[in-house]
Amino acid sequence: MKETILTGIKPTGKLTLGNYLGVLKRLPEMMERGNNYFFIADLHALTLPIEPEELRQNSIDIAAFYLAAGLDPNKCNIFLQSSVSEHAELNAIMQNYMYMGELSRMTQFKDISAKINITKDAKDAHIGLGIFAYPVLMACDIVLYDSDIVPVGDDQTQHVELCRDLVNRFNHRYGDILKMPKAEKRKAGARIMSLSDPTKKMSKSDPKGDIFLKDDPNVIRKKIMSAVTDSGSEIKYDVDNKPGVSNLLSIYAATKNVSIEDAENHFQGYRYGDFKKEIADAVVEDISALQARYRHIIESKSYEQVLKQGAIEAKKTASNTLKRVKQAVGLLNLD
Ligand code: TYM
């Protein structure tokens, strides 16, 4: 039987090379082996303040980039989380089975709430319930489709682990109701770091040193050529002592679909300047082609029909799971 593969991208900020190399670029290959649910986590985007028009545009962008990356809507369901109301309904049930203590230990929550406290005036320093309860909704996204495999970058694996805890807890109480999922990380590319500070993750909300998928190819080249490298001249994968070089090696390996060892071997004896130039060439070639396909999809608006059809298909599976859960917990079914 085919595995079920599910992942989501949140439409906050601009998509980065980290999103692409960590997840997006692997999906077309994964698509061939599974039943696939690839969605736009628009409800999750509301967990931090965002302008309505920006949210709408970002959502369209993600749909277009899913398709531009090579996803075939005949082989996967691409949809908006908010179009399948079962996500929110299951969330209302599952929030009772995740605990405040475990939610407050999540790295993403701790990082974001610390940032809000530091950067906002006291009057604006509010932390919404949604960002705290974020992993509950994310767990619902996953279990609704009986997902086996959840391809994510490094930063989301903690949330998938918490989802696994929830599945254990729920099934222990009610029987074998929810399917146990597993995160799947890419060896090269699971944690792409900022080019200006390779000890920090490349993220959608931090424009310095980050490559955005819609950046002009010349800008991408410039950012890579001015990436921070490390002292010494050796090209070696050593995250602790050579974070800058290691990050560039990961970027190259994930872009060319080779192992880190192969990338390391390839660049033996290179000087930093030539090393960066070759990586810039590889990334620019890949992203320019992606951008051309993206522009075509945006112009044709082909994503609209894809999202509509994707939601119809997704709903079929999601509504079955929701029924099973409602029955298990004792909600009366009058059908
Ligand atoms: P999001 O939108 O922050 O990121 C989308 C995916 O990109 C990965 N990623 C990275 N990978 C490598 N290097 C980086 N610098 C980098 N930055 C981001 C993320 O790990 C993620 O896989 N909570 C999720 C969205 C979500 C979801 C889900 C994912 C909602 N429900 C259910 C999987 C399953 C998020 O905010 O991802």
Residue with CA at minimum distance from ligand 1 atom 14: 18
Residue 102 corresponds to which tokens in the numbers above? 């475990």
**Residues in contact with 184: Cβ distance below 8 Å, sequence separation at least 6, in sequence order:** 149, 150, 151, 152
Rounded to whole angstroms, the Cα distance separating 15 from 291 reads 12
pLDDT in tens, 117-163: 777 666 667 899 999 999 999 999 999 999 999 999 999 999 999 99
Atom of ligand 1 nearest to the CA of 44: 30
- The length of the chain in residues reads 335
Ligand 1 pocket: which of 5, 6, 10, 141 to mutate (most atoms <8 Å of CB)? Answer: 10
Q: Which residues line ligand 1 (CB under 6 A)?
A: 6-10, 18-19, 22-23, 41, 44, 138, 141-142, 150, 152-153, 155-156, 189-192, 201-203
Whether the model clears a pTM of 0.85, i.e. scores above it, the answer is yes
Atom of ligand 1 nearest to the CA of 156: 20
Rounded to whole angstroms, the Cα distance separating 26 from 36 reads 13
- Could you tell me the pLDDT band of residue 206, with boundaries at 50, 70 and 90? low
Residue with CA at minimum distance from ligand 1 atom 37: 9
pLDDT in tens, 174-200: 999 999 999 999 888 999 999 999 999
